[in-house]
Amino acid sequence: MGDAVRPARLREGDLVELVSPSGAADRAVVEVAVGVLSGWGLRVRLGEHALGRRHSYLAGTDEQRLADLNTALRDPEARAVICVRGGYGMQRIVDGVDVEAVRADPKLVMGFSDITALHVALWCEAGLATVHGPTASSLARGLNNRTASSARSLLLEGAPAAVAADEAEGTFGVRAPGRATGILLGGNLTLLATGAGARHRPDLTGAILLLEDVNEEPYRVDRSLVQLKRAGWLDNLAGVAVGQFTDCGEPGYAEPSVADVLAEELCSLGVPVLGGLPIGHGAQQVAVGLGVPAVLDADAGTLTVEPATA
Protein backbone atom coordinates (compact mmCIF):
# COMPACT_ATOMS: atom_id res chain seq x y z
CA MET A 1 0.00 0.00 0.00
CA GLY A 2 1.50 3.30 -1.10
CA ASP A 3 0.75 6.78 0.16
CA ALA A 4 -2.76 7.94 -0.57
CA VAL A 5 -3.65 10.81 -2.86
CA ARG A 6 -5.39 13.23 -0.53
CA PRO A 7 -7.61 15.88 -2.12
CA ALA A 8 -7.72 19.39 -0.72
CA ARG A 9 -10.20 20.11 2.03
CA LEU A 10 -13.23 22.16 1.13
CA ARG A 11 -13.35 25.91 1.57
CA GLU A 12 -16.26 28.32 1.71
CA GLY A 13 -17.63 28.88 -1.76
CA ASP A 14 -16.41 25.55 -3.15
CA LEU A 15 -18.73 23.60 -5.44
CA VAL A 16 -20.06 20.20 -4.33
CA GLU A 17 -21.83 17.94 -6.80
CA LEU A 18 -24.56 15.55 -5.66
CA VAL A 19 -24.97 12.41 -7.75
CA SER A 20 -27.05 9.25 -7.49
CA PRO A 21 -24.96 6.32 -8.73
CA SER A 22 -27.14 3.80 -6.89
CA GLY A 23 -30.70 4.11 -5.60
CA ALA A 24 -33.06 7.05 -5.99
CA ALA A 25 -33.98 9.54 -3.27
CA ASP A 26 -37.01 11.75 -2.90
CA ARG A 27 -36.75 15.38 -3.99
CA ALA A 28 -37.60 16.64 -0.50
CA VAL A 29 -34.72 14.69 1.03
CA VAL A 30 -32.23 16.06 -1.48
CA GLU A 31 -33.47 19.59 -0.94
CA VAL A 32 -32.88 19.34 2.81
CA ALA A 33 -29.36 18.04 2.19
CA VAL A 34 -28.70 20.94 -0.17
CA GLY A 35 -29.74 23.25 2.65
CA VAL A 36 -27.27 21.62 5.03
CA LEU A 37 -24.38 21.94 2.58
CA SER A 38 -25.35 25.50 1.71
CA GLY A 39 -25.39 26.24 5.44
CA TRP A 40 -21.72 25.28 5.47
CA GLY A 41 -21.02 27.97 2.88
CA LEU A 42 -20.74 25.55 -0.04
CA ARG A 43 -22.30 25.78 -3.47
CA VAL A 44 -24.25 22.73 -4.62
CA ARG A 45 -24.93 21.37 -8.09
CA LEU A 46 -27.23 18.42 -8.72
CA GLY A 47 -26.59 15.64 -11.16
CA GLU A 48 -29.30 15.22 -13.74
CA HIS A 49 -30.66 12.10 -12.03
CA ALA A 50 -30.16 13.19 -8.42
CA LEU A 51 -33.78 14.22 -7.86
CA GLY A 52 -35.92 11.18 -7.55
CA ARG A 53 -36.12 9.90 -11.11
CA ARG A 54 -36.37 6.15 -11.03
CA HIS A 55 -35.49 3.30 -13.32
CA SER A 56 -36.69 0.18 -11.52
CA TYR A 57 -34.97 0.30 -8.13
CA LEU A 58 -32.23 2.59 -9.45
CA ALA A 59 -31.89 6.35 -9.88
CA GLY A 60 -31.63 5.95 -13.65
CA THR A 61 -30.27 3.55 -16.21
CA ASP A 62 -26.69 2.40 -15.85
CA GLU A 63 -25.68 4.79 -18.62
CA GLN A 64 -27.44 7.74 -16.99
CA ARG A 65 -26.03 7.15 -13.52
CA LEU A 66 -22.52 6.59 -14.82
CA ALA A 67 -22.72 9.72 -16.96
CA ASP A 68 -23.74 11.80 -13.94
CA LEU A 69 -20.90 10.42 -11.82
CA ASN A 70 -18.26 10.87 -14.51
CA THR A 71 -19.49 14.37 -15.32
CA ALA A 72 -18.97 15.31 -11.67
CA LEU A 73 -15.55 13.66 -11.51
CA ARG A 74 -14.48 15.51 -14.69
CA ASP A 75 -15.83 18.93 -13.68
CA PRO A 76 -12.82 21.19 -12.96
CA GLU A 77 -14.96 23.47 -10.81
CA ALA A 78 -16.23 20.73 -8.48
CA ARG A 79 -14.13 20.04 -5.40
CA ALA A 80 -16.25 17.25 -3.91
CA VAL A 81 -18.67 14.57 -5.06
CA ILE A 82 -21.24 13.41 -2.51
CA CYS A 83 -23.50 10.48 -3.27
CA VAL A 84 -27.20 11.03 -2.66
CA ARG A 85 -27.78 7.56 -1.22
CA GLY A 86 -26.66 3.94 -1.31
CA GLY A 87 -29.09 1.11 -1.90
CA TYR A 88 -27.93 -0.81 -4.92
CA GLY A 89 -26.41 -0.08 -8.30
CA MET A 90 -22.83 1.17 -7.88
CA GLN A 91 -21.38 -2.24 -8.68
CA ARG A 92 -23.22 -2.22 -12.02
CA ILE A 93 -21.29 0.84 -13.22
CA VAL A 94 -18.06 0.89 -11.21
CA ASP A 95 -15.91 -0.51 -14.03
CA GLY A 96 -16.86 2.50 -16.16
CA VAL A 97 -15.71 5.16 -13.70
CA ASP A 98 -13.31 7.64 -15.34
CA VAL A 99 -10.25 6.93 -13.23
CA GLU A 100 -8.06 9.09 -15.48
CA ALA A 101 -10.20 12.07 -14.49
CA VAL A 102 -9.76 11.11 -10.83
CA ARG A 103 -5.99 10.88 -11.23
CA ALA A 104 -5.82 14.19 -13.08
CA ASP A 105 -8.00 16.13 -10.62
CA PRO A 106 -8.56 14.33 -7.28
CA LYS A 107 -11.74 15.41 -5.51
CA LEU A 108 -13.29 14.51 -2.19
CA VAL A 109 -15.72 11.63 -2.62
CA MET A 110 -18.13 10.80 0.22
CA GLY A 111 -20.75 8.12 0.77
CA PHE A 112 -21.23 4.73 2.41
CA SER A 113 -23.18 1.48 2.10
CA ASP A 114 -23.43 0.62 -1.62
CA ILE A 115 -20.85 3.36 -2.29
CA THR A 116 -18.28 0.98 -0.79
CA ALA A 117 -17.83 -0.36 -4.33
CA LEU A 118 -16.74 3.12 -5.45
CA HIS A 119 -14.42 3.60 -2.48
CA VAL A 120 -12.66 0.32 -3.24
CA ALA A 121 -12.35 1.08 -6.96
CA LEU A 122 -10.95 4.58 -6.42
CA TRP A 123 -8.40 3.23 -3.97
CA CYS A 124 -7.31 0.39 -6.24
CA GLU A 125 -7.25 2.44 -9.44
CA ALA A 126 -6.06 5.84 -8.25
CA GLY A 127 -4.88 5.50 -4.64
CA LEU A 128 -7.49 8.09 -3.71
CA ALA A 129 -8.32 8.70 -0.07
CA THR A 130 -12.10 8.95 0.21
CA VAL A 131 -14.63 9.54 2.98
CA HIS A 132 -16.80 6.83 4.49
CA GLY A 133 -19.48 9.21 5.62
CA PRO A 134 -23.05 10.35 5.19
CA THR A 135 -24.82 10.44 1.88
CA ALA A 136 -27.10 13.37 1.12
CA SER A 137 -29.98 11.28 2.46
CA SER A 138 -28.19 11.04 5.80
CA LEU A 139 -27.33 14.75 5.83
CA ALA A 140 -31.05 15.42 5.41
CA ARG A 141 -31.39 14.72 9.14
CA GLY A 142 -30.32 18.34 9.60
CA LEU A 143 -27.42 20.55 10.65
CA ASN A 144 -27.31 20.04 14.39
CA ASN A 145 -26.39 16.40 14.91
CA ARG A 146 -23.37 14.16 15.11
CA THR A 147 -23.65 12.98 11.51
CA ALA A 148 -23.49 16.47 10.05
CA SER A 149 -20.91 17.84 12.48
CA SER A 150 -18.46 14.98 11.94
CA ALA A 151 -18.77 15.25 8.16
CA ARG A 152 -18.24 19.01 8.27
CA SER A 153 -15.22 18.61 10.52
CA LEU A 154 -13.62 16.17 8.12
CA LEU A 155 -14.54 17.89 4.84
CA LEU A 156 -14.00 21.55 5.71
CA GLU A 157 -11.63 21.53 8.65
CA GLY A 158 -9.41 18.59 7.68
CA ALA A 159 -9.63 17.28 11.21
CA PRO A 160 -8.72 13.72 12.19
CA ALA A 161 -11.57 11.49 13.33
CA ALA A 162 -11.42 10.24 16.90
CA VAL A 163 -14.09 7.58 17.34
CA ALA A 164 -14.86 5.94 20.68
CA ALA A 165 -16.67 2.64 21.05
CA ASP A 166 -20.22 3.21 22.28
CA GLU A 167 -21.85 0.83 24.74
CA ALA A 168 -25.21 1.52 23.09
CA GLU A 169 -24.04 -0.10 19.84
CA GLY A 170 -24.94 -3.75 19.38
CA THR A 171 -21.39 -4.67 18.37
CA PHE A 172 -19.81 -3.16 21.50
CA GLY A 173 -18.89 -6.57 22.94
CA VAL A 174 -17.00 -7.64 19.82
CA ARG A 175 -13.42 -7.09 20.93
CA ALA A 176 -9.98 -8.68 20.89
CA PRO A 177 -7.28 -6.86 22.86
CA GLY A 178 -4.33 -4.97 21.46
CA ARG A 179 -3.30 -1.93 19.48
CA ALA A 180 -2.90 -1.77 15.71
CA THR A 181 -1.73 0.82 13.22
CA GLY A 182 -2.42 0.66 9.51
CA ILE A 183 -4.30 2.09 6.56
CA LEU A 184 -8.07 2.09 7.16
CA LEU A 185 -9.94 0.40 4.32
CA GLY A 186 -13.27 -1.34 3.89
CA GLY A 187 -16.87 -0.34 4.46
CA ASN A 188 -20.04 -2.33 3.95
CA LEU A 189 -19.46 -6.03 4.61
CA THR A 190 -21.96 -7.31 2.05
CA LEU A 191 -20.48 -5.12 -0.71
CA LEU A 192 -16.95 -6.22 0.15
CA ALA A 193 -17.93 -9.89 0.09
CA THR A 194 -19.87 -9.48 -3.15
CA GLY A 195 -16.84 -7.83 -4.72
CA ALA A 196 -14.41 -10.56 -3.69
CA GLY A 197 -13.23 -12.10 -6.94
CA ALA A 198 -14.01 -8.99 -8.99
CA ARG A 199 -11.33 -6.82 -10.58
CA HIS A 200 -10.84 -4.49 -7.61
CA ARG A 201 -9.07 -6.26 -4.77
CA PRO A 202 -7.37 -3.92 -2.29
CA ASP A 203 -4.09 -4.98 -0.73
CA LEU A 204 -5.09 -5.41 2.91
CA THR A 205 -1.65 -6.43 4.15
CA GLY A 206 -1.12 -4.49 7.38
CA ALA A 207 -4.46 -2.67 6.99
CA ILE A 208 -7.21 -2.01 9.50
CA LEU A 209 -10.42 -3.34 7.97
CA LEU A 210 -13.62 -1.38 8.64
CA LEU A 211 -16.85 -3.41 8.55
CA GLU A 212 -20.49 -2.35 8.92
CA ASP A 213 -23.84 -3.51 7.55
CA VAL A 214 -27.63 -3.21 7.69
CA ASN A 215 -30.65 -5.50 7.36
CA GLU A 216 -28.67 -8.73 7.27
CA GLU A 217 -29.54 -11.82 9.29
CA PRO A 218 -26.69 -13.31 11.35
CA TYR A 219 -26.24 -16.24 8.97
CA ARG A 220 -25.80 -13.83 6.05
CA VAL A 221 -23.20 -11.86 8.01
CA ASP A 222 -21.48 -15.19 8.68
CA ARG A 223 -21.62 -16.04 4.97
CA SER A 224 -20.02 -12.73 3.97
CA LEU A 225 -17.25 -13.07 6.53
CA VAL A 226 -16.53 -16.63 5.41
CA GLN A 227 -16.42 -15.45 1.79
CA LEU A 228 -13.82 -12.81 2.66
CA LYS A 229 -11.86 -15.33 4.69
CA ARG A 230 -11.86 -17.94 1.91
CA ALA A 231 -10.85 -15.27 -0.61
CA GLY A 232 -7.82 -14.42 1.55
CA TRP A 233 -8.93 -10.90 2.42
CA LEU A 234 -8.54 -11.47 6.17
CA ASP A 235 -5.13 -13.17 6.09
CA ASN A 236 -2.73 -10.33 6.85
CA LEU A 237 -4.76 -7.65 8.56
CA ALA A 238 -3.37 -5.45 11.32
CA GLY A 239 -6.76 -5.08 12.96
CA VAL A 240 -10.52 -4.90 12.46
CA ALA A 241 -12.78 -1.93 13.23
CA VAL A 242 -16.40 -3.04 13.64
CA GLY A 243 -19.05 -0.41 13.10
CA GLN A 244 -22.82 -0.54 13.26
CA PHE A 245 -24.69 -3.68 12.22
CA THR A 246 -28.10 -2.09 12.13
CA ASP A 247 -31.27 -4.22 12.13
CA CYS A 248 -29.23 -7.37 11.68
CA GLY A 249 -31.50 -9.92 13.34
CA GLU A 250 -34.66 -9.14 15.24
CA PRO A 251 -34.57 -8.48 18.99
CA GLY A 252 -34.68 -11.83 20.74
CA TYR A 253 -33.39 -13.57 17.62
CA ALA A 254 -32.30 -17.11 18.40
CA GLU A 255 -28.60 -17.51 18.96
CA PRO A 256 -26.18 -16.85 17.51
CA SER A 257 -26.69 -13.10 17.39
CA VAL A 258 -24.85 -11.00 14.85
CA ALA A 259 -22.43 -9.97 17.59
CA ASP A 260 -21.77 -13.65 18.31
CA VAL A 261 -21.05 -14.27 14.64
CA LEU A 262 -18.72 -11.30 14.37
CA ALA A 263 -16.84 -12.29 17.50
CA GLU A 264 -16.44 -15.90 16.36
CA GLU A 265 -15.13 -15.03 12.91
CA LEU A 266 -13.06 -11.94 13.71
CA CYS A 267 -11.64 -12.52 17.18
CA SER A 268 -10.00 -15.73 15.97
CA LEU A 269 -7.81 -13.82 13.49
CA GLY A 270 -5.16 -13.05 16.09
CA VAL A 271 -5.34 -9.26 15.62
CA PRO A 272 -6.93 -6.46 17.65
CA VAL A 273 -10.66 -6.10 17.05
CA LEU A 274 -12.78 -3.18 18.24
CA GLY A 275 -16.57 -3.20 17.99
CA GLY A 276 -19.16 -0.66 19.01
CA LEU A 277 -17.95 2.08 16.66
CA PRO A 278 -20.73 4.49 15.59
CA ILE A 279 -19.89 4.17 11.90
CA GLY A 280 -22.48 2.92 9.43
CA HIS A 281 -26.27 2.77 9.17
CA GLY A 282 -27.24 3.85 12.68
CA ALA A 283 -29.34 6.86 13.58
CA GLN A 284 -26.11 8.87 13.73
CA GLN A 285 -22.71 8.08 12.26
CA VAL A 286 -19.17 9.41 12.35
CA ALA A 287 -17.39 10.14 9.07
CA VAL A 288 -13.90 8.66 8.68
CA GLY A 289 -11.28 8.74 5.97
CA LEU A 290 -10.48 5.61 3.96
CA GLY A 291 -7.02 5.00 2.54
CA VAL A 292 -5.32 6.95 5.35
CA PRO A 293 -3.38 5.85 8.45
CA ALA A 294 -5.35 4.94 11.55
CA VAL A 295 -4.69 3.69 15.06
CA LEU A 296 -7.04 1.13 16.58
CA ASP A 297 -6.68 0.71 20.33
CA ALA A 298 -9.00 -2.06 21.46
CA ASP A 299 -7.89 -1.71 25.07
CA ALA A 300 -8.77 1.98 25.19
CA GLY A 301 -11.81 1.49 22.93
CA THR A 302 -10.79 4.09 20.34
CA LEU A 303 -10.18 4.40 16.62
CA THR A 304 -8.24 7.47 15.46
CA VAL A 305 -8.10 8.17 11.73
CA GLU A 306 -6.01 10.75 9.92
CA PRO A 307 -7.79 13.26 7.68
CA ALA A 308 -8.63 12.21 4.13
CA THR A 309 -7.63 15.70 2.97
CA ALA A 310 -4.28 17.32 2.32
Q: What is the pLDDT of residues 62-105, one digit of tens each?
A: 999 999 999 999 999 999 999 999 999 999 999 999 999 999 99
Give tens-digit pLDDT for 128-183: 999 999 999 999 988 889 999 999 999 999 999 999 999 999 999 999 999 999 99
Candidates 17, 22, 49, 113; catalytic one: 113
pLDDT confidence of residue 147? 96
User: Is 113 in the active site?
Assistant: yes
Q: Which residue is catalytic, options 22, 49, 200, 212? A: 212
pTM listed for this prediction? 0.97
Cβ(58)–Cβ(22) below 8 Å: yes
Residue 1 has pLDDT above 60, yes or no: no
- Active-site residue identified among 17, 132, 281, 306: 281
The rounded distance, in Å, linking the Cα atoms of 177 and 269 is 12
77 is catalytic: no
Angstrom distance (rounded) from CA 54 to CA 59: 5
The distance of Cα 154 from the centroid of its chain, to the nearest Å, equals 14
Between the CA atoms of 273, 82, 94 and 51, what dihedral angle is there, to the nearest 10 degrees? 130
- Is 153 an annotated catalytic residue? no
Query: Residue 255's pLDDT band (boundaries 50, 70, 90)?
Result: confident
Q: Is residue 250 very low, low, confident or very high in pLDDT (cuts 50, 70, 90)? A: low
**SS3 per-residue string spanning 235-248:** CCCCEEEEEEEECC
- The pLDDT tens digits of the residues spanning 10-40 come to 999 999 999 999 999 999 999 999 999 999 9
Cα separation of 135 and 140, whole Å?
Answer: 9
pLDDT for position 142:
83
pLDDT at 249: 84
Residue 253 has what pLDDT? 60
User: 239 pLDDT band (50/70/90 cuts)?
Assistant: very high
